[in-house]
Amino acid sequence: MDYKNIYNNLDNYIKSIDRMNVDSFSIESIEDFILSKAEAKKLDIISFGSSRYIKNTGLAKIILHLNLDDAKDKIQVHIDDSEDSKIIKSKVNVNCLMSAFIINYMIEYCDCNFDILLTKNNIHLKDAGYDKLREMIRTDKVVNLNLLQSDCIADEFSALKLFLNQVKVERFTPDYEYQTYRLELSDLSGGHAGEEVDKVKLNSIKLMIGIIRKIRAKVDIDIVSLTGGFRYDYIPRQAQVDFIVNKDFEAELVNIFEIVKNEIIEKNLKYEPEMKLSIKKIESKKHLPISGESFNHLASFIELIPTGSYFVNSVDEQTISSCSLATARSLKNYINMILVLRSLSEESMRNMEDKIKLASTISSSTLTERFNIDKWKNTDDELTEVFKKSYMKLEGEELKAIKTQFSLDSSIIFNNLNVKIISIGVKYKQGDGIYYSSLDDLSKLISLLETVLSEIN
């Protein structure tokens, strides 16, 4: 189908989602949004664990894979007219939403020669039963729709390693009258570790330790606990430290905090304009404070490890390897931290491992590898070449094939299966807390997928 027809059909389809209000509508659940379309077409839906495999009625040439672990529910969508194309806007990342539009459009209008896989994979999960896919899949060609880049395809995916570092802590009973406080850092930009802008994003856990060091240099405080981050595949955007201070020094503490707060916010205003730093009194915690030596071990580990982009290709500025301090949790005898290492280069991976092992040794910690997935490279270039040929036919120019250390959902899920994987994404922009995409870009991607299907024998 030609581009103009795709655009018109897509426009009509989106208008049909809410016939009472064609300029604004709500998607309660992206998964249900897709499943309801599949059910309306009487497609075979196979459930296993939290995943859904949708069998189309024809012979499958590709599997469209969308990982929904990061998808938000109750998405408010707004449609604006512009000079060149209608604009789709939302306050949440539109990647999964745009991919859902693609899938539903193709179910409605395209030949029935593709299957669909919906998953909720994340690296917290030990076993999500993906071995069952061996009995379900009807093709060895997988197209993942989660790439957070556009105007390219990814056909090579980085290795990933997850480490647990445990800093052993000694606790003591204070011999002075004290008040317990909570220092909270919040509203950093954070976000998915797959977004290239993480090169300039701050890690809340690492920043918090720097803040605590500044305060401790001016007033005696003893740390009780450190907490930060929620998900292993996200850059942590919040952290909190509970601590005690001698009641004689409370006024001094508040004054020092205000000085440090102003300094930190001013220094990071360019990249973190929404950052908040607050302090408040709280009830005494169940744990006693940790010793000064234990805090020094904790701080030295966090300060010595690399965080963010570790190696970037100087030619195309593509991130080759990265290390993320993802979470921190305090227990009675340990403070546990999760680190996620990604790399397209074996040498960079070894270098990052060496650095975190050295940091762990210096800080008298225990480092354990908890998860490891090898780098993924397709056994041949067949699927890549089909995409390049189709793109050249449509756009008259070459489609860039990249290597990525993100969008690893398919390479994790199909790790033990003999398949070929391509990852693609819909173009979007972000500004003032709003995500934007266009019907034009969506139509171009659908046109590319249709052409790819026609090229596959």
Convert the pLDDT of each residue in 30-43 to its tens digit: 999 999 999 999 99
Mean pLDDT of 74-91: 86
Of the listed ranges 70-84, 206-220, 352-366, 422-436, the least confidently predicted one is 70-84
- With 80 as the cut, is the pLDDT of residue 231 above it? no
- With 60 as the cut, is the pLDDT of residue 66 above it? yes
| The two structure tokens encoding residue 184 | 């909270």
pLDDT (0 to 100) of residue 436: 86
| Burial class of residue 396 in the structure, from the number of CB atoms within 10 Å of its CB (0-12 exposed, 13-18 middle, 19+ buried) | exposed
Mind giving me the DSSP string for 8-28? HHHHHHHHHHTTT-TTEEEES
The full set of domain ranges for the chain reads 3-158+376-455, 160-373
DSSP letter at 39 equals H
Banded model confidence at residue 198, pLDDT cuts 50, 70, 90: very low
- With 50 as the cut, is the pLDDT of residue 91 above it? yes
- With 70 as the cut, is the pLDDT of residue 393 above it? yes
Task: Report strand pairing: 334-343 vs 159-168.
Answer: antiparallel
Place of tokens 């709280």: 282
pLDDT (0 to 100) of residue 197: 46
Banded model confidence at residue 19, pLDDT cuts 50, 70, 90: low
Place of tokens 């020092």: 256
| The two structure tokens encoding residue 183 | 């220092």
* Percentages of the chain per state (helix, strand, coil), in multiples of 5: 35, 30, 35
Of residues 129 and 439, the one with the higher pLDDT is: 439
Convert the pLDDT of each residue in 240-297 to its tens digit: 999 999 999 999 999 999 999 999 999 999 889 999 999 999 998 789 999 999 999 9
Of residues 349 and 150, the one with the higher pLDDT is: 349
- Report for 25-34, 50-59, 115-124: range of highest mean pLDDT: 50-59
Of the listed ranges 15-19, 184-188, 359-363, 450-454, the least confidently predicted one is 15-19
- With 60 as the cut, is the pLDDT of residue 206 above it? yes
Mean pLDDT of 108-131: 83
- With 60 as the cut, is the pLDDT of residue 126 above it? no
The pTM for the full model equals: 0.87
Convert the pLDDT of each residue in 323-346 to its tens digit: 999 999 999 999 999 999 999 999
Q: Are 361 and 305 in contact (CB under 8 A)?
A: no
- With 70 as the cut, is the pLDDT of residue 124 above it? no
Mean pLDDT of 137-152: 94
Beta bridge partners of 152: 400
Of the listed ranges 116-125, 135-144, 268-277, 291-300, the least confidently predicted one is 116-125
Mean pLDDT of 439-453: 95
Query: Cα 219 from chain centroid?
Result: 38
Q: Are 115 and 64 in contact (CB under 8 A)?
A: yes
pLDDT (0 to 100) of residue 194: 52
Local structure of 189: helix, strand or coil: coil
Residue 287 corresponds to which amino acid?
Answer: H
pLDDT (0 to 100) of residue 130: 86
Percent of the chain with pLDDT over 70: 95
Convert the pLDDT of each residue in 95-114 to its tens digit: 889 999 999 999 999 988 99
Task: Report strand pairing: 152-157 vs 334-343.
Answer: unpaired
Of residues 11 and 248, the one with the higher pLDDT is: 248
pLDDT (0 to 100) of residue 299: 98
